[in-house]
Chains A and B, each alone.
Chain A
Amino acid sequence: MILAALVNGLALGAGYALLAVGWTVLLGAARLVNFAHGQLYMLGAFVTWFAISRFGLPYGVAVPVALVVVAVLGVVLQLLMTRMTLDQNIVNLMLVTLAFGYLLQGGAALLFGGDPQTIDSPLQQQDLALGAARFTGQDVLIVVLALAFYALTFVVLGRTDLGRMVRGVAEDPKLAQLYGIDAARVYLAVFVFSAVCAALAGAVVGPRSPILTSMGFEEVIVTFLVVVLAGVGNLVGGLVVAIGLGLFTAFFGTFFPPAYSTAAAFVVLLVVLVVRPQGLAARR
């Protein structure tokens, strides 16, 4: 049972990590708190489902389609918010993303209907076992993708000109202008990256359980738990905290009613906020 919870927690945590990686970069670079993040996750799952069930696309093709759709949506949303982002009007940014999220949820409900759906992924049928623990090929895919995305983000941020531009804008967007960097384009790139990560998380975590257009709110909370516990902008900390949160949820769900697991994690967060407001992993 311990092993089963461990494997399940790993898959859960990897999903959380994938969900949070874009937000970590976004919040670090643009100080943009995106409350529509969970709805982008929901859309990632639902567009994948729609592409499979309506157009008969295989899962492997439906996922990239969903990513492109959400990326385009991300471009539109960020272009609408460019002015606010440049002004760093954080209050209005939070409010407008909240409105976007609600809008997307209403739109998705009209478009996709209110019934629970399942994403048909061939990997979900591949049963694997490690001792007593059973898992699926889908779980493996989630873990591999999460690790790959963290590695990719780590390398891009640390080693490439694009990453340096993002870090520059994160440190001082005004100064970045003098370096010839167009902060608006960097914000756009980071926002779209964040949206695509959320959509990917939705598309690969979605097949594990039925999906609803009303999901997405808990996902924002999970992302937020990961980012704040790790310390804003802390990438490695984010991965560790996400996996830790996944394990926590899995083990909590083994012994207590699973519905309370996010609430329990939230109580942990409240305690951390009182004791260490800068996050668990932050050095300062």
Chain B
Amino acid sequence: MTADVATRGTTGAPAARRVPTWARALLWVVLVALAYLLPSLLGGSDRIYTTVVLVAIFAIMSYGVDVVLSYLGEVSLGHTLFWAAGAYTTAILAVRSGWTPIPALLASIVVTVLLALLLGLATLRTREFVFSLVTYAAAIIGLTVVQNTQALGGSDGVVGVPLLELPAFGGTYVARTNAELWPIALVCLVLVVLLVARFRRSRLGTTALMAQMNGELSTAMGVDVRRTRMLVFVLSAPITALAGWLYAYQRSYVSPDLLSPTFLLFMLTAVILPGRRLLLGPLVGALLLTSQQQLASLGGDADKIVLGGVLAVVLLASPTGLVGIWHGLVRRVRGSRR
């Protein structure tokens, strides 16, 4: 039973099994190296570097939602709160108190974990949609509160976030441009993907999936569904906060728009468009959406229609996402060959 669930949760598990571990590891290293070189292969313009850095940041942001939505089956609409908390904590500490990036990141993680605990505890005993509503309300109200609180910069936000400086061999590595930020963003992305991959194989990951597939059965098998939900939710928050941390440095300012439904819709669409429960799904989703917004933008309001429209169409036409459409096509082709 457990094995069955776990297998279904892993992309292309049967095919991957036959490949030896070292070959798979090598494949991943080659993939990461290719990803690193991709922007320069595409011409290396500033626009390309901006796009790839944003893809990495938005993908990390979406992985937080992915963990909750794909494996727990709960809709968290409050991850913009963690995204903004990560960015705001970083910006405020860096601008006003002169904190360096690593301590700022740790502080961001602490803040978001506390927020997630608070929201998780408040919704511990509630039914499925109340969880979504409370998280949604938290994000929307967070937007109003941040806009009106001068200590958080009000509607102007916090400007003048310094450059991202990390200790490196023989001094410091300073990310002055998006091209220089790219290696850091990529490393963060790879670490997050590794973390999610680890989570999928972990006891917590399989338990979450079981609780989603059959809550009653897993309760009968001794799974504490509430505890699982809480743990997964709290784990997911710092992932999104990490993206917020990066974004604060990338954009060099933070503002209340981080809490706007735009980022919320982006996260959800990035997970759902490729298909839920795919390891690289959120990355592919973030890639598609960011490319559209950066390289083929139709203007703010029209982009909203594109984003909302994509999400609605996918859910109505193929709730399993592009992968579902692909499987459908493959089945049809095979069927017609017979």
Question: Which residues of B have CB within 8 Å of A106?
Answer: 301-305, 307-308
Query: Are A98 and B148 in touch, CB under 8 angstroms?
Result: no
Query: Are B132 and A257 in touch, CB under 8 angstroms?
Result: no
| Residue B137 is within 8 A (CB to CB) of chain A in the complex | yes
| Residue A220 is within 8 A (CB to CB) of chain B in the complex | yes
Which residues of B124-149 have CB atoms within 8 Å of chain A's CB atoms? 124-126, 128-130, 132-134, 136-138, 140-141, 143-145, 147-148
| Residue B295 is within 8 A (CB to CB) of chain A in the complex | no
Question: Which residues of A have CB within 8 Å of B44?
Answer: none
| Residue A149 is within 8 A (CB to CB) of chain B in the complex | no
- Least Cβ–Cβ distance between B273 and chain A, in angstroms: 11
| Residue A175 is within 8 A (CB to CB) of chain B in the complex | no
Which candidate, A88-96, A154-162, A238-246, is the interface stretch facing chain B?
Answer: A88-96
| Residue B312 is within 8 A (CB to CB) of chain A in the complex | yes
Which residues of A80-117 have CB atoms within 8 Å of chain B's CB atoms? 80-81, 84, 89-92, 94-96, 98-107, 109-110, 114
Query: Are A33 and B312 in touch, CB under 8 angstroms?
Result: no
- Least Cβ–Cβ distance between B199 and chain A, in angstroms: 20
- Least Cβ–Cβ distance between A14 and chain B, in angstroms: 22
Determine the residue in chain B with the shortest Cβ distance to A38: B140
Query: Are A263 and B145 in touch, CB under 8 angstroms?
Result: yes
Query: Are A95 and B272 in touch, CB under 8 angstroms?
Result: yes
| Residue B38 is within 8 A (CB to CB) of chain A in the complex | no
Question: Which residues of B have CB within 8 Å of A91?
Answer: 69, 73-75, 128
Query: Are A102 and B272 in touch, CB under 8 angstroms?
Result: no
Query: Are B148 and A257 in touch, CB under 8 angstroms?
Result: yes
Query: Are B148 and A99 in touch, CB under 8 angstroms?
Result: no
| Residue B223 is within 8 A (CB to CB) of chain A in the complex | no
Query: Are A224 and B133 in touch, CB under 8 angstroms?
Result: yes
Which candidate, A64-72, A163-171, A269-277, is the interface stretch facing chain B?
Answer: A269-277
Query: Are A110 and B73 in touch, CB under 8 angstroms?
Result: no
- Of B137, B265, B307, most buried by chain A (CB within 10 Å of CB) is B137
Query: Are B144 and A94 in touch, CB under 8 angstroms?
Result: no
| Residue A247 is within 8 A (CB to CB) of chain B in the complex | no
Question: Which residues of B have CB within 8 Å of A220?
Answer: 136, 140
Contact partner, A95, options B75, B130, B134, B143, Cβ 8 Å:
B75
- Least Cβ–Cβ distance between B192 and chain A, in angstroms: 23
Question: Which residues of A have CB within 8 Å of B69?
Answer: 91
Flag A250-279 by CB within 8 Å of B: 1 or 0 each.
Answer: 000000010110110010011001100100
| Residue A221 is within 8 A (CB to CB) of chain B in the complex | yes
| Residue B77 is within 8 A (CB to CB) of chain A in the complex | yes
| Residue B121 is within 8 A (CB to CB) of chain A in the complex | yes
- Of B77, B122, B264, B300, most buried by chain A (CB within 10 Å of CB) is B122
Query: Are A274 and B315 in touch, CB under 8 angstroms?
Result: no
* Bound: A245/B195 CA distance, A: 44
Determine the residue in chain A with the shortest Cβ distance to B271: A95
Flag A208-234 by CB within 8 Å of B: 1 or 0 each.
Answer: 000000000110110011001000000
| Residue A35 is within 8 A (CB to CB) of chain B in the complex | yes
* Bound: A42/B74 CA distance, A: 28
Query: Are B148 and A259 in touch, CB under 8 angstroms?
Result: yes
Query: How many B residues, CB 8 Å from partner?
Result: 47
Given contacts A102-B304, A102-B308, A109-B301, contact A225 B125 (CB under 8 A): no
Question: Which residues of A have CB within 8 Å of B265?
Answer: 98-99, 102
Question: Which residues of B have CB within 8 Å of A101?
Answer: 261, 308
Determine the residue in chain A with the shortest Cβ distance to B304: A106
Query: Are B129 and A94 in touch, CB under 8 angstroms?
Result: yes
Given contacts A80-B316, A99-B311, contact A90 B128 (CB under 8 A): yes
* Bound: A252/B122 CA distance, A: 23
Contact partner, B140, options A84, A92, A218, Cβ 8 Å:
A218
- Least Cβ–Cβ distance between A106 and chain B, in angstroms: 3
* Bound: A35/B264 CA distance, A: 13
Given contacts A109-B301, A110-B301, contact A277 B129 (CB under 8 A): no
Question: Which residues of A have CB within 8 Å of B73?
Answer: 91
| Residue B319 is within 8 A (CB to CB) of chain A in the complex | yes
* Bound: A218/B307 CA distance, A: 21
Question: Which residues of B have CB within 8 Å of A221?
Answer: 136-137, 140-141
Query: Are B304 and A95 in touch, CB under 8 angstroms?
Result: no
Given contacts A103-B305, A217-B261, A221-B136, contact A95 B122 (CB under 8 A): no
Query: Are B315 and A99 in touch, CB under 8 angstroms?
Result: yes
Which residues of B258-272 have CB atoms within 8 Å of chain A's CB atoms? 261, 264-265, 268-269, 272
| Residue B167 is within 8 A (CB to CB) of chain A in the complex | no
Determine the residue in chain B with the shortest Cβ distance to A218: B140
| Residue B98 is within 8 A (CB to CB) of chain A in the complex | no
Given contacts A94-B132, A99-B308, A106-B302, contact A277 B268 (CB under 8 A): no
Q: A103-B305, A269-B134 are in contact. List 15 more A-B contacts (CB 8 A).
A: A33-B133, A35-B136, A91-B128, A92-B315, A94-B129, A96-B315, A99-B308, A99-B312, A103-B308, A105-B304, A106-B307, A217-B143, A263-B145, A273-B123, A273-B134
- A-B interface, 5 closest residue pairs, ranked by CB to CB distance from nearest: A106-B304, A103-B308, A102-B308, A99-B311, A259-B148
Interface of B toward A, CB cutoff 8 Å: 69, 73-75, 77, 121-126, 128-130, 132-134, 136-138, 140-141, 143-145, 147-148, 261, 264-265, 268-269, 272, 300-305, 307-309, 311-312, 315-316, 319
Can you identify 13 A-B contacts, CB atoms within 8 angstroms?
A35-B136, A90-B129, A95-B315, A98-B265, A102-B308, A103-B304, A105-B304, A110-B302, A218-B144, A259-B145, A263-B144, A273-B130, A274-B125
